[in-house]
Amino acid sequence: MSHLSKGKLALFKVNIFRLFSYISWSSYNKGFVCWLAYLWCMCVCVCLSHFCLSFHQNGWPLDSCTLLQKIVFKNLITICFLSINILGMKPQANPFYNEFYNGVCNRVRDGNSGIYYRMPWNVAVLNYETRGAKNFRAEYYEDQVTSLKEMLSDTHKSFKAGLSLKMSPTEIPKSKISMSFDSNIGFTFNNSNSISNFLRKSKGKKQLFLHVKSRIELGTFRMRTRDLRLNDWFLDDLKELPLTYDKGEYFKFLEMYGTHYARSGTFGGKYELLYVLDSETMKKEDVTITDVKSCLGYNVDFGLTVSVVQVKPSLSGDKCKPNRVKLGNGKTENAIINDVVTIVQGGKTAVLVKLKEKLSTGSRVIDVEDYVQWAATLPDAPAIISQEPSPISELVPLKMPDSTIKKRNLERAVKDYIAENNVRKCQPCQNGGTVLLINGQCECGCTPYFKGEACQIRTVASAKGV
């Protein structure tokens, strides 16, 4: 502090004295031990920004507070520790009270930004360790079902739910459904507004499916095994559940709060796109899969730095034909890219909305530049991208009246809920088709040579032996 004047140094000492005097007076009657805890928490959790601002207003350089801000936490944890629906739907309410700290000021440092975050009581362990692939994983498939299976592979590994998806609630009254409802899996389409439409539009067409995938892991977490703090409305609804098993009431509870919760897992971001390509147009225009990847920027390596993902794409000029390798306004004839399906988890809402708008308007295809913008927001808004699930029944407090009965009923409800949405209830598809159950409706995903509701109709190309 040698560069500071004696006057500013004296001002610093006065402000420190005022700060500690204020906190000491406020907590006078709390006992010595409580006073120390209160002093620490108040200082690092509340007061730091106030006396830094005071110094700045009195001529103290604001940069001098940077060091102080780095040794304490600047923000609260932004990861949403939520429940999960095994069929992919986003629960309408969160059972956890993540704003509870139990008077403890545990902190964890984000190695990407150097910022310290305050950990909620419900989180036992939180470690930041950035890991990500150095390039995009890009593969292509010739049939719609294989491509869809690949996009769902992470979810199916966690839950073993089969090819069954439920994207919207059916047991909850419409008045109680969140206005911000979105599927937990996060499907967004361009020309097709649902998975069912996507399957129908792709049947019997000569198409290729380019699957582009990237995953960035920012860290790992583990929830407490005991004394989890739950939201009051979750506990109230739990108390209201009937002791006699009522499938409707228990299904409603599961769709409201989820079938499972993540007791441990990885947080960060997942970015997946499925480009539906017109094979005939590609052949006519002499464009290959490699050309498409190059035009979109997915043929480059990228590096993870402290707070941003750096990508330096090198686009080829001859093969990258903007008038063909694009979606246009949705009416472009002979476009190479017919549709785009995305699954994006993590990132700030503004970036996600921007991605969704681009897909809905069809103004241009999502490319590597959009990925860079999304990845840069991950440290501020990560999501849980893989988890070790536990049944929601494990959250029933042991001290709650009739807890054993309600826990048993919830376990039964989860089994019934999965059974009612099981793909086995559907009739088999013909000619090698794959059965899917989507929002209670049975669908058939066909090979490239068949179409129809049950894949019973041969395509023209198949009939000619092409």
* One domain for residues 163 and 62: no
* One domain for residues 217 and 291: yes
Which residue, among 27, 158, 20, has the nearest Cα to 87 in the 3D structure? 158
Domain tally, the chain: 2
Tokens standing for residue 242:
């009937």
DSSP readout, 373-387? Answer: HHHHTGGGS-EEEEE
Asked if residue 282 lies in contact with residue 115, where contact means CB atoms within 8 angstroms, the answer is no
Whether residue 139 is contained in a domain is answered as yes
Whether residue 85 is contained in a domain is answered as no
Q: For the chain, which residues score pLDDT lower than 50?
A: 1-4, 8, 13-14, 16-17, 19-39, 41-42, 44-74, 158-159, 179-185, 192, 304-308, 313-318, 327-331, 363, 463-466
Whether residue 198 is contained in a domain is answered as yes
* One domain for residues 62 and 207: no
Q: What are phi and psi of 427, to 5 degrees?
A: -75, 145
Whether residue 289 is contained in a domain is answered as yes
Whether residue 452 is contained in a domain is answered as no
Whether residue 105 is contained in a domain is answered as no
Amino acid making up residue 385: I
* One domain for residues 41 and 134: no
What range defines the domain where residue 45 resides? 6-71
Rounded CA-CA distance 132/113 in Å is: 16
Give the global pTM. 0.73
* One domain for residues 135 and 224: yes
Whether residue 31 is contained in a domain is answered as yes
Structure confidence at residue 294 (pLDDT): 81
* One domain for residues 149 and 230: yes
For 68-109, what is each residue's pLDDT tens digit? 444 444 455 656 667 888 888 888 889 999 888 888 888 888
Relative to beta strand 164-165, strand 434-438 is parallel
Whether residue 263 is contained in a domain is answered as yes
* One domain for residues 236 and 357: yes
Structure confidence at residue 156 (pLDDT): 52
Question: Which of 26, 53, 71 lies at the terminal end of a domain, its last residue?
Answer: 71
Question: Which of 24, 53, 71 lies at the terminal end of a domain, its last residue?
Answer: 71
Question: Which of 71, 98, 122 lies at the terminal end of a domain, its last residue?
Answer: 71
DSSP class of residue 90 equals P
Distance from chain centroid for Cα 270: 7
Which residue, among 234, 204, 280, 194, has the nearest Cα to 82 in the 3D structure? 234
Please enumerate, as own/partner, the contacts of 153-162 that have beta carbons within 8 Å and a separation of 24 or more.
154/270, 154/385, 154/386, 155/88, 155/185, 158/386, 158/387, 158/388, 158/389, 159/86, 159/260, 159/389, 161/86, 161/87, 161/88, 161/418, 162/422, 162/423, 162/424, 162/437
* One domain for residues 322 and 194: yes
